[in-house]
Each structure stands twice: as C-alpha cells, then as structure tokens.
C-alpha cells in the first residue's frame, strides 16, 4: 500500500524483532493441513481488511458477508493487512467471523499487521492454536524469517493435486532507506526445500499457488511487458486496471527467479496496493492482485469486494471478481 499512509507507532517499534531464527525443522512439518480437492475448487481471496478498534465492525462484517455469500467458497484466504490499530479483541472478532463461515480459512500478514496493540508473534501463536476451521500453521522457533510460512495440500486420489503455499512477505525494511521488506534468503531456501520435498513425496513435480501480501519487485516489469507483448512470449495481459503506482520492496532478493526455476508455482495472489486490481502472466507465472475487502484506509468505492480463484480438474484457473458498494448495507 502507499508509503504516505505509513504510521510509526511504539507498538511497531517493539514488534520489529518478530521472526523466528535459530532452529531447523523438518520441511514436512510445514504442511499445515491436507484438504480434499473437489472439482472447480473455489478459493475466495480477501485482502487488506484493515479492521481497527474504532470501526463499526458489525457494518464491516455485514459488508464482507455480501462478498462471501456471492463467492460460495470452498476456502477463504486473507492476504494480509488484516488490522491497523487494533486490539486483541478486534483481532479475535475478525478470526471468529472468518471461522463462522464453516469453510477452511487462513491468513498471511501484511506490513500494517504490526501496527496494533499486540505483536504479530501473539497473532501467530493465537492462530496456531485456533483449531476449528482455521488452517494456519507457522513454526515460531524456526530459522525461516516471518510469521506465516506454510503449505496446505489439496488432495485427490491419495496424492497432492495442488499445493497452496502461504508466505510472509514481511513488513518494513529500514536497511535500504525507507521501504517495504523483502522475502529473505532463508525463506527462498525454505521454498526450494518445500518444492523438492513435495516433488519427492508426491512422485513428481506438483503444481502450486502462492499467497502473500507485498507484490514482488518484478510486478512492474510484468505489467509493462504484458502491455507490450506481441503474443509470441510467455508474457500476457489477462485482466484489470492499474490505478496507482505499485509498491514492491526496493530490494530484489531473487525469489521470483527461484520460483521460475523450480517450475511449481503457476500463480501468485497478493494485495497491498489497494486500488490496483490486475492480473498478468509473466514468464509462465500469473501475478494477481486481489480486491480490497473493506473501505478501511484508502480505496476506490468501485473496487471493493473479493476475488474467487477457481481451480479446475486440468489445473487451469478461472476467476470471478466480486464487487459491492456500501450503499447495500447502510
Ligand atoms: Fe493495505
């Protein structure tokens, strides 16, 4: 999201140290859950909820109901910036709301999720122990940076049909001027290990979809080249509008090159830039913004709702963009 909306709070400063460095865990421990795949599996991506203590939360839940009711999801994934200036009770209310939809749900975190009256570590621990329909799992004492690095396997006929990879693109980076953080080297190694492990365990390269918050640095090249593509390359414009400058990290840690080299991940879904809603295929990988879920922080009134990602039996994807207006709930 836009740098001009950055808020520096004491809570943020205290939570900058949150990451688990120090212990190695077996890669198989990062499979949070196995869920049965069914034909035309519908994943609702919500993003940038930014729920705050001061909000009319019932109104926000009523609004999100419009999107969720339209989506008929088999699963809900929220791609970060869940909260801004929120207390634990607000966090618990949103998680309880998501859980009430009676489908598996999970989240990753955004840069604003540390600007609250709790730490991201607290939220991680709370979700790790949530149970019920929550399928979140982060190993907190590991040597993988961030608070949401795990996978969910969609199973069919005893094998992993598709892997959903949840990653934490972290928060701010004060080491390269002032900007957004990047995916760390130990996360890239973790991703590589996960793909290798799944390839072996599943008897072959397994397709995956990835969910995170901050777009990777290649987002601008992806957009620009897709608009200049002549149809002869693996770069294609698919859908949507770019209404604001993208805000990826300044530093490129090489994660996208690794993703292309591994050949597993076919599409990536993220948020962060509230009024960008586009999808392009770049070097064989789809970059896709979600649609902002609420009108909290900056937004365009005609670009609020959610995106449904529909996974088909042949591994192809189709999409439904759901948009609603607050006039429907006021
Ligand atoms: Fe945001």
> How many Å apart are CA 321 and CA 19, to the nearest integer?
34
Mean pLDDT on 6-19: 40
Q: What is the DSSP letter of 133?
A: T
Instruction: Tell the CATH topology of 28-328.
Output: Purple Acid Phosphatase; chain A, domain 2 (3.60.21)
Say how many Å lie between the CA of residue 83 and the centre of ligand 1. 9
Dihedral over Cα of 187, 121, 16, 290: its sign: positive
pLDDT of 234 reads 86
> How many Å apart are CA 238 and CA 317, to the nearest integer?
12
CB-based contact 280:237 (threshold 8 Å): yes
CB-based contact 202:159 (threshold 8 Å): yes
Q: In this prediction, what percent of the chain has a pLDDT beyond 70?
A: 93
Using alpha carbons, select from 51, 38, 47, 111 the residue that is nearest to residue 76. Answer: 47
Tell me the domain boundaries of the chain. Answer: 28-328
Q: Mean pLDDT, the chain, as a whole number?
A: 92
Say how many Å lie between the CA of residue 220 and the centre of ligand 1. 18
Pairing type for strands 159-166 and 150-156 reads antiparallel
Asked whether the predicted pLDDT for residue 17 surpasses 70, the reply is no
> Given pLDDT bands bounded at 50, 70 and 90, which one contains residue 227?
confident
pLDDT of 4 reads 39
Query: Around ion ligand 1, which residues have CB less than 5 A away?
Result: 1, 48, 81
Say how many Å lie between the CA of residue 81 and the centre of ligand 1. 5
Is the whole-model pTM more than 0.75?
yes
pLDDT per position as a tens digit, 157-197:
999 999 999 999 999 987 766 799 999 999 999 999 999 99
Asked whether the predicted pLDDT for residue 31 surpasses 90, the reply is yes
Mean pLDDT on 242-265: 96
> Given pLDDT bands bounded at 50, 70 and 90, which one contains residue 258?
very high
User: Bigger pLDDT: 4 or 98?
Assistant: 98
In order, the DSSP letters of 260-315 are HHH--EEEEEE-SSTTEEEEEEETTEEEEE--BSSSSSS--TTSBEEEEEEE-TTS
pLDDT of 177 reads 66
């Amino acid at each position: 999201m836009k740098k001009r909306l950055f808020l520096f709070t004491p809570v943020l400063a205290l939570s900058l140290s949150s990451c688990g460095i120090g212990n190695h865990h077996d890669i198989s421990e990062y499979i949070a859950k196995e869920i049965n795949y069914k034909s035309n599996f519908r994943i609702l991506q919500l993003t940038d909820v930014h729920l705050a203590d001061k909000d009319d939360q019932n109104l926000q839940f009523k609004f999100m109901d419009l999107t969720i009711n339209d989506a008929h999801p088999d699963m809900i994934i929220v791609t970060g910036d869940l909260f801004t200036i929120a207390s634990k009770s607000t966090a618990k209310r949103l998680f309880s709301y998501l859980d009430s939809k009676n489908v598996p749900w999970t989240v990753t975190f955004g840069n604003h999720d540390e600007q609250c009256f709790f730490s991201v570590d607290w939220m991680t621990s709370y979700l790790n122990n949530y149970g019920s329909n929550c399928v979140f799992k982060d190993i907190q004492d590991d040597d993988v940076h961030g608070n949401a690095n795990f996978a969910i396997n969609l199973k069919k006929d005893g094998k992993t049909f598709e892997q959903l990879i949840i990653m934490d693109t972290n928060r701010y980076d004060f080491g390269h001027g002032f900007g957004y953080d990047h995916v760390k080297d130990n996360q890239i190694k973790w991703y590589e290990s996960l793909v290798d492990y799944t390839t072996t365990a599943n008897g072959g390269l397994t397709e995956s979809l990835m969910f995170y918050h901050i777009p990777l640095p290649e987002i601008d090249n992806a957009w620009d080249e897709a608009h200049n593509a002549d149809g002869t390359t693996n770069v294609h414009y698919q859908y949507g509008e770019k209404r604001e400058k993208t805000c990826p990290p300044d530093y490129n840690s090489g994660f996208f090159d690794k993703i292309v080299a591994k050949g597993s991940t076919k599409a990536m879904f993220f948020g962060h830039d509230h009024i960008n809603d586009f999808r392009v295929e770049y070097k064989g990988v789809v970059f896709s913004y979600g649609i902002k879920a609420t009108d909290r922080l900056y937004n365009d009134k005609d670009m609020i709702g959610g995106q449904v990602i529909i996974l088909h039996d042949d591994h192809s994807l189709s999409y439904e963009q759901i948009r609603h207006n607050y006039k429907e709930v006021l």
